[in-house]
């Protein structure tokens, strides 16, 4: 994925020898809080990971602190320190795709057959 100079998010996808260029919306992992500080979260898909037990964001003093926090988080991920939290959220995501057994147990509708 690449970003153009004017700030639009774009991605290249090659299909059948042709390249398609399309806009892709990226959700930022940080935002300014009401107190003027910055908050940083970690996402697994659309879900937010708990960085510390019971906390899903890290607060920093400045935008430079956001960069430092992201670097520290990357080293923690590389070291495997967040694997259990990632697996927990992954399990929640997979559970959302599981088939509902109650649908399979419903009686099937039988339509009358035309007599020939």
pLDDT at position 66: 92
Q: Average pLDDT for residues 69-98, to the nearest whole number?
A: 85
**What's the pLDDT tens digit per position in 29-49?**
888 989 999 999 888 877 888
pLDDT at position 4: 44
CA distance 76 to 85: 12
Domain residue ranges of the chain, discontinuous segments joined by +: 27-97
Q: How far is CA 102 from CA 48, 95, 99, 109, 110, in A?
A: 30, 15, 9, 15, 19
Percent of the chain with pLDDT over 70: 69
CB 57 within 8 A of CB 51: yes
Average pLDDT, the chain: 77
pLDDT at position 18: 65
pTM to 2 decimal places: 0.57
User: 36-73 burial, b if ≥16 CB within 10 A, otherwise e?
Assistant: eebbbbbebeeeeeebeeeeebbebeeeebbeebbeeb
């Amino acid at each position: 994925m690449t970003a153009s100079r004017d700030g639009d998010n774009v991605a290249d996808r090659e299909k059948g020898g042709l390249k398609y260029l399309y806009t892709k919306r990226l959700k930022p992992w940080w935002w300014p809080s009401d107190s003027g500080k910055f908050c940083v979260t970690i996402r697994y898909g659309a879900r937010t990971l708990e960085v510390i037990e019971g906390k899903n964001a890290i607060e920093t003093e400045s935008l430079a602190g956001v960069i430092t926090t992201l670097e520290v988080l990357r080293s923690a991920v590389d070291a495997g320190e967040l694997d259990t939290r990632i697996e927990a959220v992954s399990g929640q995501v997979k559970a959302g795709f599981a088939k509902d057994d109650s649908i399979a147990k419903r009686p099937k509708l039988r339509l009358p057959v035309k007599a020939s």
